[in-house]
Structure 1
Amino acid sequence: MKVLTEERQQKIIRQLNENGIVKLQDLVETLNCSISTVRRDLQELEDHGKLVRVHGGAKQITTLQSEPGVLEKSSKNVQGKQKIAQLAVQQIKADEIIYLDAGTSTEAMIPFMTGLDSILVVTNGVQLASKLADINIKTYLVGGELKNTTKAIIGADVVETINNFRFNRAFIGVNGVHRKFGFTTPDPNEAAVKRAVLKQSELSYFLADTSKLNEVSFAKIAALNAGVLLTDEHNHETLQQFEQAKKVMEAKR
């Protein structure tokens, strides 16, 4: 029995490492055990500091300064990010000027943007700019300091450049979404760039998969009412916590 318990818990940790969050019902199905057994496993793992239980499941333990690199982030919650990305692209209209924030959530939008060759995109993401050029979208890459871990261009030069632009829509990646602390990210320099973008955009969207909800990072970007929250979360009780946002849009299952 002890071996079976260890095997279940190892599978739970593996799923957490892959997705950042696990759902109770999904674990019941994949582990082929009762809901009470899964709850006991989650409780035991939480007691040992391996995870944090949340409504309907569990999530990884993070700190205020936790910031995975691009490769690590790109492998987590891939399906959720793709659904959010598709929903985000559906908001874009022909001939608009769009800002795409550096990050894996916004990068996931690009495969769905083929055919939008009448728009202009401004970005601080080096990888995003390259991929946008590959699908023949006119792109302006702002200049400044390159942050190696996230491949984002940051710094005062970026903020100054952005202050001279206007955007129809901005799509912003975040590390945390919290009812009290709003939208946050670990790096104050990246937060400053995001805040500058928000001031220059007619409408802003924050892309946050389920693992980002109820998380808090070091640097505040904005309050919840600064824009529209795009997420793959569908639990009504969870989404109610973010009703201060201008609108909460859920990606289709």
Structure 2
Amino acid sequence: MLTEERYSLILDLLKEKELIKFEELSSKLEASDSTIRRDLSILEERGLLERFHGGAKAISSKRKELSYKEKLSKHTDEKNILAKYASELINDGDCIFIDAGTTTYEIIKYLANKNVFVVTNGLNHINALVENNIDCYMIGGNVKLTTKAIIGSHALNCLNKFKFDKSFIGTNGVDLESGFTTPDCEEASIKECAINNSKKAFILADSSKFGYVSFVKFAKLSDCSIITNKNSDLDKYKEITDVRMVNKK
């Protein structure tokens, strides 16, 4: 395989997965360790990827955000595991907020037999709630086309009228210093409002979200409990907040 062909394949793999480990590159490229290391070094020098111990990850802007459709196909197993655990924290009689997002969306199917009231800003969420015969309310406002989230000042004013037993929030980044972050200012305001108006707030974050910092901070680590499938390097997070580690059963 020619050098430029290897470069192209590496970048194509990163477009699909955002992060790829050294062992997988070795298998896909059928190249020596030294060749792969050299390829990654050159691509990093060109600003096309970031190397880390054990692999490489795609370069991403702090303001870049995938569309709802693009997010649906990523980390599907992890999202379902986290959502199922989150649903088990919801009791009959609870009034809850479910944030717009593909991970929080998965909670809804587990609520079909519970007597709960759900408020959401997720355009796709409301259909799933109705189909599962769940009492619900959708806040009004502007529709963000990429993420199917309701945002804006009207949405914020509407949301601020509610008081929740629990809220379930998605995030783009979880970082020890920067807390919880997301690319969009208006979505950040919605998340922050829901957290402030909840007795208990939970952040659903698969392992890929840790150590990443997006554009806008919407909460400190200590403001929320974290539900995650990440099972290592969490000691420092546990010193700051409640961390629920969920593994596939």
TM over 0.5: yes
Aligned residue number for residue 246 of structure 1:
241
Point out where structure 2 has 5 or more consecutive residues left out of the alignment: none
Structure 2 counterpart of 1:186, from 183, 188, 213: 183
Instruction: Output the CA distance in 2 between the equivalents of 1:231 and 1:36.
Output: 35
Q: CA deviation at 1:228?
A: 1.1
Q: CA deviation at 1:109?
A: 2.1
Provide closer, same or farther for how the CA distance between residues 189 and 228 of structure 1 changes in structure 2, counting only shifts above 3 A: same
Aligned residue number for residue 207 of structure 1:
204
Cα contact 1:81–1:105 (8 A) shared by 2: yes
Aligned residue number for residue 173 of structure 1:
170
Instruction: Output the CA distance in 2 between the equivalents of 1:245 and 1:11.
Output: 40
Provide closer, same or farther for how the CA distance between residues 172 and 56 of structure 1 changes in structure 2, counting only shifts above 3 A: farther
TM-score (norm 2): 0.87
Provide closer, same or farther for how the CA distance between residues 60 and 83 of structure 1 changes in structure 2, counting only shifts above 3 A: farther
Instruction: Output the CA distance in 1 between the equivalents of 2:104 and 2:169.
Output: 7
**Equivalences for residues 1-253 of structure 1 within 5 A:** 2=2, 6-7=5-6, 10=8, 12-24=10-22, 39=37, 41-116=39-114, 118-234=115-231, 236-237=232-233, 239-253=234-248
TM-score (norm 1): 0.86
Q: CA deviation at 1:211?
A: 2.4
Provide closer, same or farther for how the CA distance between residues 219 and 69 of structure 1 changes in structure 2, counting only shifts above 3 A: same
Query: Where has structure 1 moved over 6 Å in runs of 4 or more?
Result: 29-37
Instruction: Output the CA distance in 2 between the equivalents of 1:11 and 1:83.
Output: 31
Would you say how many aligned residue pairs link Structure 1 and Structure 2? 248
Point out where structure 1 has 5 or more consecutive residues left out of the alignment: none
Q: CA deviation at 1:105?
A: 1.4
Q: Which moved more, 1:180-189 or 1:22-31?
A: 22-31
Cα contact 1:224–1:244 (8 A) shared by 2: no
The superposition leaves residues 105-140 of structure 1 with CA deviations (integer Å, 9 ceiling, x where unpaired) of 111222333322x01111000100111111111111
Q: CA deviation at 1:147?
A: 1.2
Instruction: Output the CA distance in 1 between the equivalents of 2:121 and 2:137.
Output: 9
Instruction: Output the CA distance in 2 between the equivalents of 1:57 and 1:225.
Output: 31
The superposition leaves residues 168-202 of structure 1 with CA deviations (integer Å, 9 ceiling, x where unpaired) of 11111111111111111111111111111111111
3-state SS in 1 of match to 2:237: coil
Instruction: Output the CA distance in 2 between the equivalents of 1:88 and 1:102.
Output: 15
